[in-house]
Structures are given as C-alpha cells and as structure tokens.
C-alpha cells in the first residue's frame, strides 16, 4: 500500500479515489493525533474549501469525521488555502482543514490539513495520522456521545479577518496601478479582487464566477493566454493569475510576457535586500528553479538555499534557518513574516507594491533575471516507483548530464499528486534542452 499523503495533502478523483468514507476516517484520525480531547476545553477545527462541486460533499464528510471525534467545527466557507491556514492561527484552532485540489482539474479534490498555528504537517505527523486511520493506533479514544459530540458553526467574519491580515502586509499604496487578475473561477474569486482594490489598485477581474464546475477550466495560473490577452486589451500595468485555491501567483507584464515564480522571487528578494528586510540575505528555492535565478541572486550578493520540490520543504527550510523569503517556480511564494504557507494574493500585493514603490514597470523589474532555456515534459506513467528504480533511466540521465556539462542540468521527479514523471532539462539553448528532454521522456514512457 502506498503512502496516503502526497506532497500537499491527500488528493485524488473525488468520489472514486477520494471518497466520503475516506474523508470521514481521515478527519477522525487527524483529530485523534492533532486535537486529542481534553476535559478542560473543546478542540476546534477551521474548515474551508474551494468552489468545486465535490467540495460540498467532502466538507460534509470532513465535518462529520471531526465532530464524531468531539471536535467543534468552524466553517469558513469558500476561501483560499492560505486564508484557512491564517484563520487556524487567528481563531486559535487546533486543526485547519482545506478541501481543494489546487490546480488540478475539477473532478479531482483534496484534503490539506494544518496543525495549530496554521502550519503544514511534517512527514512524521502525517505518518501518525495515517497509522490512526488504518487502525494501527491501539490507544485511539472511544467516540464521544451526548454532549461530547462536536458542534458546527459558521464564521461570518472569516473573509474580513483575512482581508485585514493582507492589508497589514502592504505599506505602499497601489494607487495608479491597474491590474487584471485571473481568479481561475476558484477560491480567490472574491478575496483576490477585494484585497487588491482595498490596497488602492484599479482591478479588472476575469474568470471570477465559479459555478462548481468551471474551476481551472482553461484559466488561472496553468492557462495564461486569457490573462495575457486581457492585460493587452485593457492597457493594464500587469496581470496576476491564481490557481484554484489561490496559494499560487504567476504574473504577466504589460506586454503579456510571463513573469514566473522565479522572476517574482528575484523581484521581491532584491526589494527586501535593498530595504534590509531579507534575513541573512538568503532566498530558499527548489531544485526546479531556473539556473538564471541563482545567477541573478549571486550577482546581487544573495545566497540561494535549494530544497526538494514542494512548498512544504521550502517552509521547513525557512523555519529551520530563520529566512524571510522562499518559493517555487510554479508561483508558490512564502513570506514567513506574513504567513505560514504560500499565499498567492499576498504575493500579488507585494509584487504590485514593488512596482508602485519603484515607479518601474514589471518588465524592467523582472529583467534582473535571465532564464536559461528550460523544457519540462510531463510523462504519464503506470508506476512512478518503477521509473525511479530503472537503471536504464538512471544511466540515460547521467549521460545527458555529461553532455550538458556546466551549461545545464537534468531533473527527473515523480509528481506528488498525479501519475506523472516530470522531466526537466536546462541547457544553453532551447534546441538542445528540447532534444535532451524529449529523448529522456521517450525512455521514461517506455518503462
């Protein structure tokens, strides 16, 4: 049996792989590990979701699992994942649960769990929850009855609390900045435009009418064409794109050119460095970040710490080292002084704040970094573990690295949420990067 938790919670096809029964048991197991019943106080869980249709079903299941374990549930409704993390801390809750499959297609869904304080779980805690779910915990308490059963209430002030939190992270008014925001018909559809407008920007929102079925449908951070067109049509200063649960933010400049997570980190890092607000002059990035980011940071006197793929590993390194900025090329950007997880809306605010403070267009700010050609091929596979263990694949990767030398690199890694192996190649020119990537992808597909 494989590990239940992936790189970002438990995810799968809703009502097929991620079932109501699993959600009830998972919530109960999380309660046993993170919020054991105490005679002195009732444990509390904050529960939120993105707008996808299956979220209604899974929210009911998670709520049932938590209340059956004696946990009171505070339902915050449709909000971004980082809002649920923040509110877990702000309400003083013992657990936070976000029901979302992030950038995945609508039929998928997921369950992300936060500990007290809004922190993501480490591997050891996830393993304890999984053991409890499978009945391996002999000390699991009996279910409460009568008045011991958890109660459910809604939190009408949840959005306002989150917006007030975001407002406190911006010092420079965004007056004069026009932004198009693509909300992916997702969890940012209300919170994103409201936060940007409150900070003073002129906001044009697109794909902000979720109906439960259209989340991430040819829009948002994984499909930037509509945003690029809207920015040019409206003559906006920039565009921002979120994913379904709004923990990501990608951008485009006034011409529609993409400004990815690496470039956003470069812009923010330089601004914080200049202001003396970048602890230890260090940025935390993942192995997927472009070599161009490393070069730009080295030229600015900023160290880059590299970790495995997944914002949870970025978070662990940020907390371990006391650093102030980290993230991923995909647009998960973490600012620990303002949040415990990646926050796409916060990232958008801070990026626009840099534009407003410098008076420079985003294109000029992002030009500090020149990306080396990078090709990423997602290869559907039947068994990710078999690919990782195949000696022919390992030898082909080693041969490709020898071919590229110091001018590039190769990275093969299994997706944490899908049956894919990601083949990434960087090289001095696009033609070489593409040729090597396609050669390796063909070998992976044949395993």
Is there a domain that residue 2 lies in?
no
Structure tokens at 207: 């794909």
Q: How confident is the model at residue 406 (pLDDT cuts 50, 70, 90)?
A: confident
Is there a domain that residue 416 lies in?
yes
The per-residue pLDDT for range 151-210, each reduced to its tens digit, is 999 999 999 999 999 999 999 999 999 999 999 999 999 999 999 999 999 999 999 999
Q: Give me the DSSP letters along 201-248.
A: -EEEEES----SS-TTSS-GGG--HHHHHHHHHHT-SEEEE--TTS--
Is there a domain that residue 5 lies in?
no
Query: For the chain, what is the radius of gyration of the CA atoms?
Result: 22
Backbone angles phi, psi at 31, to 5 degrees: -65, -40
Shared domain for 128 and 190, answered yes or no, is: no
Q: Which H, E and C letters describe 155-194, residue by residue?
A: CCCHHHHHHHHHHCCCCCCCCCCEEEEECCCCCHHHHHHH
Mean pLDDT of 137-149: 77
* Statement: residue 389 has pLDDT above 80: yes
Residue 102 is a catalytic residue: yes
* Statement: residue 136 has pLDDT above 70: no
Identify the domain containing residue 435 by its residue range.
Answer: 374-446
Shared domain for 145 and 288, answered yes or no, is: no
What confidence score (pLDDT) does residue 223 get?
A: 97
What confidence score (pLDDT) does residue 362 get?
A: 98
The per-residue pLDDT for range 423-434, each reduced to its tens digit, is 999 998 899 999
Please, which residues have CB within 8 angstroms of residue 43's CB and are 6 or more apart in sequence?
31, 35, 36, 37, 70, 71, 72, 94, 95
> Is the separation of the CB atoms in 119 and 340 below 8 Å?
yes
What confidence score (pLDDT) does residue 302 get?
A: 98
Shared domain for 152 and 47, answered yes or no, is: yes
Shared domain for 378 and 346, answered yes or no, is: no
- The catalytically annotated residue of 102, 221, 289, 371 is 102
Backbone angles phi, psi at 105, to 5 degrees: -60, 160
Is there a domain that residue 93 lies in?
yes
Is there a domain that residue 304 lies in?
yes
Q: How confident is the model at residue 140 (pLDDT cuts 50, 70, 90)?
A: low
What confidence score (pLDDT) does residue 2 get?
A: 65
Shared domain for 319 and 440, answered yes or no, is: no
Among 97, 131, 158, the domain-final residue is 158
Backbone angles phi, psi at 44, to 5 degrees: -130, 140
Shared domain for 30 and 55, answered yes or no, is: yes
Q: How many residues does the chain have?
A: 447
CATH number of the domain bearing residue 432: 3.30.310.50
Among 158, 175, 194, the domain-final residue is 158
DSSP, collapsed to helix, strand or coil, labels residue 386 as: helix
- CA gap 426, 434 in Å, rounded: 9
Shared domain for 251 and 302, answered yes or no, is: yes
Q: What angle, rounded to 10 degrees, do the helices at 20-34 and 123-133 form? A: 120
Shared domain for 391 and 345, answered yes or no, is: no
Is there a domain that residue 218 lies in?
yes
Among 331, 366, 401, the domain-final residue is 366
> Is the separation of the CB atoms in 143 and 68 below 8 Å?
yes
Q: What share of the chain in percent tops pLDDT 70? A: 98
What confidence score (pLDDT) does residue 141 get?
A: 65
Q: Which helix (H) or strand (E) holds 416?
A: none
The per-residue pLDDT for range 283-339, each reduced to its tens digit, is 999 988 998 899 899 999 999 999 988 888 999 999 999 999 999 999 999 999 999
Shared domain for 274 and 335, answered yes or no, is: yes
Shared domain for 185 and 334, answered yes or no, is: yes
Is there a domain that residue 3 lies in?
no
CATH number of the domain bearing residue 141: 3.40.120.10
Is there a domain that residue 4 lies in?
no
Q: How confident is the model at residue 142 (pLDDT cuts 50, 70, 90)?
A: confident
Round the average pLDDT of the chain to a whole number and report it: 94
Shared domain for 134 and 212, answered yes or no, is: no
Shared domain for 211 and 260, answered yes or no, is: yes
* Total number of domains constituting the chain: 3
* Statement: residue 8 has pLDDT above 90: no
């Amino acid at each position: 049996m494989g590990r239940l938790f992936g790189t970002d919670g438990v995810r799968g096809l809703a009502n097929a792989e991620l079932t109501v029964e699993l959600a009830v048991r998972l919530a109960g197991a999380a309660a046993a590990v993170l919020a054991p019943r105490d005679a002195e106080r009732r444990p509390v869980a904050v529960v939120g979701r993105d707008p996808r249709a299956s979220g209604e079903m899974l929210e009911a299941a998670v709520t049932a699992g938590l209340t059956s374990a004696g946990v009171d549930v505070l339902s915050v409704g449709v909000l971004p994942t980082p809002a649920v993390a923040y509110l877990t801390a702000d309400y003083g809750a013992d657990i936070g649960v976000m029901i979302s499959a992030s950038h995945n297609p609508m039929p998928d869904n997921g369950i992300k769990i936060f500990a007290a304080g809004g922190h993501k779980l480490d591997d050891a805690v996830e393993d304890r929850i999984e053991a409890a779910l499978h009945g391996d915990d002999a000390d699991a308490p009996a279910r409460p009855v009568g008045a011991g059963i958890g109660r459910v209430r809604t939190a009408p002030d949840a959005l306002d609390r989150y917006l007030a939190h975001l407002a406190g992270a911006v010092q420079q008014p965004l007056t004069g900045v026009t932004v198009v925001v693509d909300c992916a018909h997702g969890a940012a559809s209300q919170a994103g435009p409201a936060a940007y407008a409150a900070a003073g920007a002129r906001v044009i929102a697109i794909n902000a009418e979720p109906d439960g079925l259209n989340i991430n449908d040819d829009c948002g951070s994984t499909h930037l064409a509509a945003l690029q067109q809207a920015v040019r049509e409206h003559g906006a200063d920039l565009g921002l794109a979120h994913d379904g649960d709004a923990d990501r933010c990608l951008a485009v400049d006034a011409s529609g050119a993409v400004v990815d997570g690496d470039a956003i980190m470069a812009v923010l890092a330089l601004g914080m460095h200049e202001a003396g607000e970048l602890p230890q002059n260090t940025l935390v990035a993942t192995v997927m970040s472009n070599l161009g980011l490393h070069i730009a940071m080295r030229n600015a006197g900023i160290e880059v710490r590299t970790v495995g793929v997944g914002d949870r590993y970025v978070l662990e390194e940020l907390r371990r080292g006391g650093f102030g900025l980290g993230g991923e090329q995909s647009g998960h950007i973490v600012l620990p002084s303002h949040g415990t997880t990646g926050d796409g809306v916060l990232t958008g605010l801070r990026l626009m704040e840099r534009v407003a403070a410098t008076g420079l267009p985003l294109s000029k700010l992002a030009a500090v970094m020149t990306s080396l050609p990078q090709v990423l091929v997602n290869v559907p596979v039947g068994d990710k573990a078999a690919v990782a263990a195949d000696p022919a694949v390992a030898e082909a990767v080693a041969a490709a690295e020898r071919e590229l030398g110091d001018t590039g690199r190769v990275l093969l890694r299994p997706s944490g949420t899908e049956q894919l192996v990601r083949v990434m190649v960087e090289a001095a020119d696009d033609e070489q990067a593409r040729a090597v990537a396609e050669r390796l992808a063909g070998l992976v597909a044949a395993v």
